[in-house]
Amino acid sequence: MKVLIIVDAQNDFMPGGALEVPKGDEIIPVINRLQPKFDLVIATQDWHPENHISFAKNHLGKKEFETIQVEGIQQTLWPAHCIQNTKGADFHPELNTIAIEAIFRKGTSPKIDSYSGFYDNAHLKSTGLAGYLKEKEAKELYFCGLAGDICVSFTVIDALNEGFQPVLIEDACKALNEENFRKTKQQIKDLGGNVILAEEVLE
């Protein structure tokens, strides 16, 4: 079974959003073209409470994009984004959601951030995604979405650690930091994952 996992294709990560990824909206048509090529399409969604620990506004005297330590884990302080039940947390309006069979929400706990679609950043709490995929006997997972260097990459690496065969579709992602994305793509390859272009799926 070939599975497409769409990571965080939400309004706040699009141009004009609270935490915009440059040209993030350009991947939406690509993702829409990819979907019919897969047996199963699922999505992840950042779903933060207003008092989330990752928001700079919740730390007196701290600025956006500063880094702090929270219980031994490095935490980047972000602009408030993808707050539950807001337009910013909604999927991009042009994303075809008809084929999405399940949505896994992450970052729901106020006290810890969750980049990966599988676990929070301390690996204390599972989203249930791994169990869902294993129950369906899915092994071949393809990843796209935002941001390529953060949530997508963390999700791909967790997929590797869970024993799946992950494939990153690099031109169906956009990154906050291109240099970091280049490094994480190499890390994925070194760990045994694959990095391909969308045309390799669409052929």
Q: Please give the C-alpha separations between residue 177 and each of 20, 147, 156, 167, 180, in angstroms, as whole numbers.
A: 12, 9, 17, 20, 5
Active-site hit among 12, 25, 82, 106: 106
For the four alpha carbons of 85, 86, 91 and 93, in that order, the dihedral sign comes to positive
Query: Which position among 46, 151, 173, 185 bears the catalytic label?
Result: 151
Buried b (16+ CB within 10 A) or exposed e, 92-114: beebbeeebeeebbbbbeeebbb
Smallest CA-to-CA distance from 30 within 194, 169, 189 is with 169
* Beta carbons of 115 and 158 less than 8 angstroms apart: no
Cβ atoms 89, 43 nearer than 8 A: no
Is 8 assigned a catalytic role? yes
DSSP state of 198: T
Given the residues 8, 12, 113, 120, select the one marked as catalytic: 8
**How far is the C-alpha of 50 from the C-alpha of 60, rounded, in Å?**
15
H-run or E-run covering 18: none
**If we measure between CA atoms, which residue out of 97, 120, 101 comes closest to residue 47?**
120
189 labelled catalytic = no
What residues are labeled active site? Answer: 8, 106, 151
